Structure formats: C-alpha cells, structure tokens
Amino acid sequence: MSKGPLVTRSELRRQKEKNSSKAGFDEPVREKNTLKLQKEYERKDEKIKSFYRKEAKKQKELTKTRSGESRKSRELNSFLVGAIIVVSLLIGVVLLATFFL
C-alpha cells in the first residue's frame, strides 16, 4: 500500500521557509509597485478634479438678464432724478433766503 508519507514535515518546513524568504524579497518590489500605482492614481484623480473645476467655472449660473439690468437702471435713474430735484429746491431756498433776508 503506502510506503510512506508523500510530503514529510521537514519538507513542508523547508517549503514554508522558502516561501517566506521569497515573500521577504518581493515585499520591497510590491511596495514600489503600490507606490507607483498610488502616484498614478493621484495624478489621474488630480487631472479629473482640475477638469471638473474648469467646467464648473465655465458654466456659471446667469444672474444678470437684460430686463433685470434695465429695471435696475430705471430704479437708479428715478432715484437720481429725485435727488437732483431735492437738491435744486434746496439751492433755490438758500438763494431766496440770501437775497430777501
């Protein structure tokens, strides 16, 4: 039947040591690869963010309209006309006061 175990304990131990030593050598390489991948991901992420930032600047909401601006200018015009009338009346009162008093 069976003459002995297919893999002995000492063989298993040697294989484990061999695998662990390989993993120890591969670790710096893995770290370099992960750093490269991380830097590449950050570059792509920054590029995407800058693209959408530029798009957001391009697509500002319209807050000014022609009708709104003309309404504002009419309001300002009426205010200034009223102020000119008040000032001219005050000047007239001062002139009358200086000539008749």
- What pTM, to 2 d.p., does this model score? 0.40
Separation of CA 11 from chain center: 58
> How far is CA 11 from each of CA 8, 31, 47, rounded to the nearest angstrom?
5, 30, 52
Give tens-digit pLDDT for 19-47: 777 666 666 777 788 888 899 999 999 99
Residues of the chain with pLDDT under 50: none
Every domain of the chain and the residues it spans: 8-58, 67-101
Tell me what pLDDT residue 2 has: 60
